[in-house]
Amino acid sequence: MTITFVSYAILSLGLYFWIWGTLPILNKEHSIFYKLHTLTVADSVGSLLIVVALLLLAPQYWPLLLVTAISLSLWNTIFSYILGNISDRPS
């Protein structure tokens, strides 16, 4: 019962990070770098928190969730590096 409560608390924190990180991309005043930072908050940190919450909720699915977490962090990091490289090109 306690584990269920803790996992739903982590899940709602992850959902809050999703909302906070996704809403600034609608604002046209921010630069693309700030948007990349907020998308990192949403897509890496929020999604990793959701994975942790799901792991507490259903521990028997740990291989699936571990593969998801590893691939998510690797892809997102390389992706934001490449997008930063494109935007910061000396022209």
Partner 1 sequence: MINSAVARLDSYQYVVIYVMLLISLVPVLAVSRTNSTTERIAYASSFGNKLAFMIIAFGIFRGDWMIGCIGAFILIVGDAGMLILSLLEMRI
Partner 2 sequence: MANFTRLTLVLLFRICCWCLVTSSIETTNLLIGLVICFLIPFGDFRRLKMHALIPEILLILRLPYDMMKECFELMLINDPIDNFTEEKVNIRATSGSKFAEFFDLFRITFTPMSLVTRRENSDAWRVHLVASASEVEAKVKPKESNK
Residues between 42 and 81 that touch partner 2 (CB under 8 A): 44-45, 48, 63-64, 66-67, 73-74, 77, 80-81
Helix, strand, coil tally for the chain in percent (to 5):
90, 0, 10
Pick from 33, 58, 59, 75 the residue near partner 2 by CB under 8 A.
Answer: 33
- 52 with 8: CB under 8 angstroms? no
Is the CB of residue 41 less than 8 Å from the CB of residue 20? yes
Q: Which residues bind partner 2 (CB under 8 A)?
A: 17, 20, 30-31, 33-34, 36-38, 40-41, 44-45, 48, 63-64, 66-67, 73-74, 77, 80-81, 84-85, 87-88
